[in-house]
Chains A and B, each alone.
Chain A
């Protein structure tokens, strides 16, 4: 007689989960649809949209030619160096005695050794103060970095011209030279006296690449969750469900095992996608604990949604279709592909989707935010999961054989 003992829920769940994972790995569907496809999509989307990320603009080299100790030139140099993106390598030159300096600069730009070369006339400041419009020459290459530098130069020249005019007007009003100089300096200076208090935006703003990676990870969470749903519905089609249900195990353990399989696959796929995205697109998750908590809560919420789908779908085809529809709807609504901004009803609904909460939560973690900072998206995810579980418990079981 073969010995037997009471089967605990944990034993039954462990056996079914192990067996299910083995099957999902053997049929390779989880690798293809849980990792390969989303990752390929991230690569494509990042290649398409990722170039808009300021951090991805290449550094530019800028040469500034100006008279030694020209105060306005110092102001321009400061304005250029203050650019955060693109990063600027600034080279200062004084005007050469020969006339060939400008053509050398031109060649340097053409050959790509320099992205932009700015030549200020030697009497730049005095000409301005005299009410003149000194000619500033800018040589530049194509590329967004050089364009940004040219805008900075243009803005500075306009501001300096305005300052000179203010000084001229001040002089005509009989102000003393010291006051006139002060007016001109204040007007031209890029670091004016405004009391500027810089406040960082609240954490949670991902870069374009970060949005894509988190958005796609959230989007494909629904598909990895679908494996559990399909596995359960597949038991019906395979004929194994009656055998499982006639075994001395609690009925709830079968569904629980499927949800756990979904959860594990979702957790692995999402974590791998976020990690690989970070490596490939130079993203940083400053607070891994927060990001981890958001991943767990996000996958948990979507796994609970799987419970609803288990109740609704009676064939594997239906389960696949339901998974795709739910994934696309929540992906679009929650910002997997583009963000829904504003304050309208749609934006509010969008905020309440697991997708949006997941992306927001990952952003907070990436910015170094703590779990307390991420309380809002975490609560949305936990609430969504609980609501889905309640809805699933109210739906009739369609797996009863006839």
Chain B
């Protein structure tokens, strides 16, 4: 878990620890993010995600541990290092008595973007977040979704190497939430490295290349979604429906590696398979060879909720 650090990692966190009084908010958290990678921190409220991000952004000094940010061994301690990251806080971090353009211009200047370049970059970002036609309106007149989009736009303004998004969809209506997720998808597709915290497992599954599961300040697991799902040891349920030699197909499929059980129910076969996606093509070929014409396939997989439950003994939203 985080033992091997890519030499070109955008962010590397090792043994990060932080206590507030007697409460240990973050306890030895380690992970790294490669360029272009979307890394998710998944955990319930109070798990230590925001404190971890606060340390990465230089808002809170860690008690122990090391942060290497874009090659800067001092982490966020220097302005040079901080200029490489974009931060989208959980709370809206924009000024209500300024227009969208004025907000972007202010934060752009604080990021060191020269005036001339800033004007065109602000226009680009306004287009990107879909606020070009409302750029001159005070943001206090915006809807919640528009404010969220601007909030993300400010974080992107200076084209950081790493964008940190701290629960950007909390308290957002479904339509805006979808727009935000699409925007994050687009950023990931452009190759921007992202650190995304959430307590919504479906967001983590959809967006993240790798996920770190955090609970009570500790990183309990890190990996791709498939890797994490394997931790549970629970197999997928595969249902094949069709016609022809269903019984023969079931018998042949039951002999395959990774298939632990096969049962027939009329024209359907239900299989218990470890890592079903890896075996799906073989299963379909065997069914066809056995004389079964498969018309429908359904794979039910354990999800991250199950993984969290397996690792912590508690539900993700407890």
Contacts and interface: CB of A to CB of B under 8 A. Distances in A.
A376 B208 CA distance: 67
A250 B79 contact: yes
B17 to A, nearest CB: 15
B51 interface: yes
B97 A26 contact: yes
Contact of A4 (B59, B92, B95, B112): B112
Nearest to A18: B106
Interface stretch (B81-89, B187-195, B196-204): B81-89
B94 interface: yes
A401 B51 CA distance: 8
A348 interface: no
B11 to A, nearest CB: 14
Interface string B81-116: 011010101111111111000100011011111100
A249 interface: yes
A43 B87 CA distance: 50
B70 interface: no
B15 interface: no
B214 to A, nearest CB: 16
B114 A246 contact: no
Interface stretch (A9-17, A161-169, A215-223, A288-296): A9-17
Contacts of A401: 50, 54, 59-60
A143 to B, nearest CB: 53
B20 A402 contact: yes
Interface string A227-261: 00000000000111011111111100000000000
Contacts of B87: 242-243, 246
B58 interface: yes
A240 B83 contact: no
Contact of B92 (A2, A6, A239, A244): A239
Contact of B114 (A3, A16, A249): A3
B148 interface: no
B102 A19 contact: yes
Interface in B154-169: 154, 157-159
B57 A246 contact: yes
B80 interface: yes
B79 A249 contact: yes
B91 A4 contact: no
B76 interface: yes
B121 interface: yes
A331 B93 CA distance: 37
Interface string A81-96: 0000000000000000
Interface string B5-26: 0000000000000001000010
B117 interface: yes
B110 A22 contact: no
Interface of B: 20, 25, 50-51, 54, 57-60, 76, 79-80, 82-83, 85, 87, 89-98, 102, 106-107, 109-114, 117, 121, 138, 154, 157-159
20 contacts: A2-B157, A3-B114, A4-B158, A6-B79, A11-B112, A12-B109, A15-B106, A15-B110, A22-B98, A23-B97, A23-B98, A239-B90, A242-B87, A246-B59, A247-B83, A247-B111, A248-B80, A248-B82, A402-B20, A402-B60
The 9 closest A-B pairs by CB, nearest first: A239-B91, A248-B79, A248-B83, A243-B93, A246-B57, A15-B109, A23-B97, A7-B112, A246-B87
